[in-house]
């Protein structure tokens, strides 16, 4: 499918200056052919209410707010958001349900509940909640983004593209919208479009590892291993525990013929998880040896 986007201003990314430390890694495991690691979605928060924000990160304080304002849907929405961030999905859902029962036209609570459903792979209820939020507020950029992610996960490519385009039109500084549209283009082998969107996302956020990894995968897909390696150098320094970044970096340097750096990257991934198949296969391909030290930079 040939996806065509509307004209959107793109941010030009200047040279990156990542320091190059002489790091070495010892391979703890061995073992042999896959390509790139897949990339997950970055976390999204649909919570945008400002009241009680000073207590947002403190569940005890938020519970006190709820106790003091038992009929205030915003109080439940705020606490539900904090529960969601803490991974307490059942408690989050209970609070969003309560917020919605108190105010059936509370768009943010529907979007927040949609996020919990989405993160727990309940895509049907998630889609229904995003649709409800948008029926209440047709200019709610966050709900378009959330619905776009659900549509992409369900394989509804055109619908997802339309949602991401709408989210970007409403909020052109939203890095997540560009990132997720980039993932959509990438899934359709529209890698130059994907690279453009990942570049814009990189320019708009300080959470850099994931868009750098994603852009590197598209560079690898179009045969630009040098650009991919450069991106992955940044990604692994930004998040040294990102196993997918290390394994993808190994592939980039493998394609560049720099087998020592490739082995070092695969070894680093194996030191994080010695059962990670792309790293195991890549390490074997470049002749990696258990117990041998390799330079990563």
Per-residue pLDDT reduced to its tens digit, 176-221: 999 999 999 999 999 999 999 999 999 999 878 999 999 999 999 9
Q: pLDDT value at position 160?
A: 98
Is the pLDDT at 277 greater than 60, yes or no? Answer: yes
Distance of CA 219 to the CA centre of its chain: 18
Per-residue pLDDT reduced to its tens digit, 109-141: 999 999 999 999 999 999 999 999 999 999 999
Helix H or strand E segment including 24: strand 24-26
**Which is more confidently placed, 260 or 43?**
260
DSSP state of 206: S
DSSP state of 154: T
Count of other CB atoms within 10 angstroms of residue 294: 23
**Which is more confidently placed, 9 or 84?**
84
Percent of the chain with pLDDT over 90: 77
Place of tokens 């991919």: 228
Q: Are 59 and 79 in contact (CB under 8 A)?
A: yes
pLDDT band for position 58 (50/70/90)?
Answer: confident
Average pLDDT, the chain: 85
């Amino acid at each position: 499918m040939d996806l065509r986007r509307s004209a959107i201003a793109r941010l030009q990314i200047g040279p990156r200056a990542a320091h190059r430390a002489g790091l070495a890694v010892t391979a703890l495991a061995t073992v042999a052919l896959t390509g790139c690691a897949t990339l997950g979605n970055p976390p999204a928060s649909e919570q945008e209410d400002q009241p009680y924000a000073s207590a947002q990160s403190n569940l005890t304080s938020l519970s006190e707010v709820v106790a003091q304002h038992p009929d205030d849907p915003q109080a439940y929405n705020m606490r539900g958001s904090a529960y969601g961030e803490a991974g307490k999905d059942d408690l989050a859902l209970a609070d969003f349900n309560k917020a919605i029962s108190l105010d059936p036209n509370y768009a943010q609570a529907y979007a927040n509940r949609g996020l919990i459903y989405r993160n727990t792979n309940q895509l049907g209820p998630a889609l229904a909640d995003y649709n409800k939020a948008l029926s209440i507020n047709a200019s709610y950029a966050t709900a378009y983004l959330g619905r776009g992610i659900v549509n992409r996960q369900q394989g509804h490519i055109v619908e997802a593209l339309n949602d991401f385009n709408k989210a970007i039109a409403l909020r052109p500084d939203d890095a997540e919208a560009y990132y997720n549209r980039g993932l959509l283009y990438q899934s359709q082998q529209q890698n130059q479009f994907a690279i453009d969107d990942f570049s814009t996302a990189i320019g708009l956020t300080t959470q850099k590892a994931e868009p750098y990894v994603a852009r590197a995968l598209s560079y690898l897909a179009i045969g630009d291993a040098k650009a991919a390696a450069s991106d992955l150098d940044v990604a692994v320094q930004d998040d040294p525990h990102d196993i997918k970044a290390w394994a993808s970096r190994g592939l980039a340097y493998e394609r560049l013929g720099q087998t020592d750096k490739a082995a070092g990257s695969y070894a680093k991934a194996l030191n994080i998880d010695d059962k990670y198949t792309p790293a195991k296969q890549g390490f074997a391909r470049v002749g990696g040896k258990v117990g041998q030290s390799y330079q990563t930079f």
